[in-house]
Amino acid sequence: MPGPSFSDVCQARLRLAGRIHRTPLFHSQQLDDLAGCRLWFKCENLQKTGSFKVRGALNAVLSLTPAEAGRGVVTHSSGNHGAALAWAARQRGIPAWIVVPENTPAVKQRAIENYGGQIIRCAPTLEAREETMRKVQAETGAALIHPYDDDRVIAGQGTAALEALEDAGPVDAILAPVSGGGLLAGTAIAATSALAGIRVIGCEPAGADDAFRSLQSGQLQRNQRTETIADGLRAALCERTFAILREKVHGIVLVSEEEILEALYLAWERLKLVIEPSAAVALAAVLFRRATEGCRSACVILSGGNLDVRAWCRAPLEATTRPTRPSTGPPSAA
C-alpha cells in the first residue's frame, strides 16, 4: 500500500484549480514572540465549507468516472469531511449519503444538510461508523469516499501544504493536526518532496493519542475511548496513513485540553480568526510544547473553522481553567 505520490498531489492541485479558495497565510508578531520563531498560519478555516476537507473530497469526486458518479457517493464523518463531500457532490450533481455519529456537533450536521447531504446517524464509535457506511453503500451502490483511507483524498489534502510553502518560502517545519491522518499524510508527501530538510510534525490531543502511540510502538494502535474537545480529531489512523506517517513524519506532539482551549482563545484574540478546537491543536503544540524548538520559521495549518459560535457564547469562557501562557522571549537559535 504505497500511497499517493508527489505527482498525485500536483495533479490534484491542477484538478482543484479555480474550484476552491487559495487560502491566505496569516502572521502575528505577538504569536512569534510567544513561540520563539516566525510562524505562518495557513488559514483553511477560510476554505470553502470551512475546512481543508473540501480539497480531498472534491479531488476524489472529480476523479470518479461518469458511471461511478452516477450512483452517488457515501462516507462517514464527524462533520467536516461530510460537509465537504456533500458540497463536492453537489458540484457534480450527484447524491451524497453521510453517516455521522450521534454526538456530532449540530452546527456540522446542519452544514451537511445545507450542502445537500443525506444524513444517516449511528452510534459514536468508529466501528459503528464503518459498519453503517458499508450498509448504506451496499443498499445504494454509491462510490465510497473514505475521509482519509483513500489516495485521492490524501493527495487533495496535500495541496494545502504546497500552497503554504509557495507563499511562505522556505521554512524549517510544518505542523498539522492528526486524526485519521489524511491531512498529515498529504502534508508530509507534499512538504518533504517540495522542500528538502523540512520537519513535518503531527499534533494530537492527549485524549485521542493513537497516532502518537502508533509511531512510538511501530504498530498501529487504537483508542478505546476518545476524550477531547477537538471533535474533528476522534478518528484513528488506518494502515495507509500510518505507513506514510512512519516514513515521512518526524514526530507527534501531544497537547492537553487546557492547552487546546488557550490556543483557541489566542487565535481569536491575536489572529482575529474563528477556528475550531481541532485547528487549535497545532497552535497549542507550538506555544505550549515547543514543537518548533530550534526552528527559525514554521508553517501551521489551521485546519478548520466550523465552530458552533452560539453554543460557545452561551458558556462563559472565563469559567474554563486556563493554563499559564508561554513566556515571551527572543527567537530560538537554529
CA 64 to chain centre: 23
Does residue 232 sit in the same domain as residue 274?
yes
Among 116, 144, 172, the domain boundary falls at 144
- Confidence class of residue 315 from pLDDT cuts 50, 70 and 90? low
| pLDDT exceeds cutoff 90 at 220 | yes
| pLDDT exceeds cutoff 60 at 236 | yes
Residue 149 vs residues 75, 76, 243, 302: alpha-carbon distances, Å: 11, 11, 11, 21
Residues whose CB is less than 8 angstroms from the CB of residue 88 and which lie 6 or more positions away in sequence, other chains included: 54, 57, 58, 60, 61, 62, 73, 96
Does residue 176 sit in the same domain as residue 291?
yes
**Which range (149-158, 284-293, 308-317) has the least confidence?**
308-317
Within 13 A of 102's CA, how many CA atoms are on the CB side? 5
Q: State yes or no: is 272 an active-site residue.
A: no
In a domain, residue 269? The reply is yes
Among 102, 123, 144, the domain boundary falls at 144
Of 181, 320, 203, 219, whose CA–CA distance to 254 is shortest? 203
94-121 per-position pLDDT tens digit: 999 999 989 888 888 999 999 999 999 9
Does residue 134 sit in the same domain as residue 221?
no
Does residue 226 sit in the same domain as residue 103?
no
In a domain, residue 180? The reply is yes
Does residue 270 sit in the same domain as residue 159?
yes
Does residue 170 sit in the same domain as residue 40?
yes
Q: State yes or no: is 5 an active-site residue.
A: no
Domain that holds residue 116: 53-144
Give me the chain's average pLDDT, please. 92
- Confidence class of residue 126 from pLDDT cuts 50, 70 and 90? confident
Among 99, 114, 144, the domain boundary falls at 144
Does residue 63 sit in the same domain as residue 198?
no
Of the residues 42, 48, 53, 248, only one is catalytic, namely: 53
| pLDDT exceeds cutoff 70 at 322 | no
Does residue 253 sit in the same domain as residue 285?
yes
In a domain, residue 116? The reply is yes
Does residue 271 sit in the same domain as residue 196?
yes
In a domain, residue 277? The reply is yes
* 98, amino acid identity: I
Of the residues 78, 193, 214, 303, only one is catalytic, namely: 78
In a domain, residue 137? The reply is yes
Does residue 65 sit in the same domain as residue 203?
no
57-81 per-position pLDDT tens digit: 999 999 999 999 999 999 999 789 9
In a domain, residue 326? The reply is no
Does residue 139 sit in the same domain as residue 104?
yes
- Tell me the torsion sign for CA atoms 77, 89, 148, 50: negative
Helix (H, G, I), strand (E, B) or coil at 263: helix
Partner residues linked to 286 by β-bridges: none
Q: What is the CATH number of the domain that holds 107?
A: 3.40.50.1100
| pLDDT exceeds cutoff 60 at 323 | no
Does residue 161 sit in the same domain as residue 43?
yes
- Helix H or strand E encompassing 300: strand 297-302
In a domain, residue 331? The reply is no
- Confidence class of residue 325 from pLDDT cuts 50, 70 and 90? low
| pLDDT exceeds cutoff 90 at 127 | no
- Spell out the long-range contacts of 190-197 with Cβ–Cβ below 8 A and sequence spacing 24 or more: 190/6, 190/9, 190/158, 190/159, 190/161, 190/162, 190/165, 191/161, 191/165, 192/248, 193/6, 193/9, 194/6, 194/161, 194/162, 194/165, 195/165, 195/170, 195/171
In a domain, residue 15? The reply is yes
Number of domains in the chain: 2
| pLDDT exceeds cutoff 60 at 154 | yes
What predicted TM-score, i.e. pTM, was given to this entire model? 0.91
